[in-house]
Amino acid sequence: MRIAVRGYELDMNGHLNQAVYLQYAEHARRECVRAGIAEDKQQAAGVGPVVLETTIRFRRELRGGDEVDVSCEFIWGKGKTFRITQEIRHVDGTVAAELDAVAGMLDLDARRLMPDPRGVMRGLATAPERLGL
């Protein structure tokens, strides 16, 4: 997903504010999930993805007017959680930031993580390849 850095997202030093990196990552993750599972199917099933932890490694600065590409890769294991790795890259390919998130699927009624998020997402997916399934 390509995103243009906007002037109002900059900090006092003219760099992209550190919190905005999280917004870019969240936007890309949400769009990736939406491409794989229709939101109305998630809502009808009473489940939704939730991020539990995020680590950001800043590599190169981003400034106003820069354009970046944000990737999103789901890494499935066993248990209640899975990983999402992302890169924010300048259009020339230079890595600006690397993000690693731990996520799960939340039962929206019980407010608890689902025991098999991969199975839940696979069962709901219309485009499972978008989610690494």
- pLDDT score for 45: 95
Q: Class of 2-131 per CATH?
A: alpha beta
Average pLDDT, the chain: 95
Of the chain, the percentage scoring pLDDT greater than 70 comes to: 100
Residue 39 is predicted with a pLDDT of 87
67 pLDDT higher than 90: yes
| Residue 20 clears pLDDT 90, i.e. is over it | yes
3-state DSSP helix/strand/coil % of the chain, to nearest 5: 30, 40, 30
pTM of the model: 0.91
Domain ranges of the chain: 2-131
Q: Identify the CA nearest to 130 among candidates 56, 36, 2.
A: 36
Cα–Cα distance for residue pair 120/47, rounded to 1 Å: 9
pLDDT digits (tens, 9 = 90+) for 75-92: 999 999 999 999 999 999
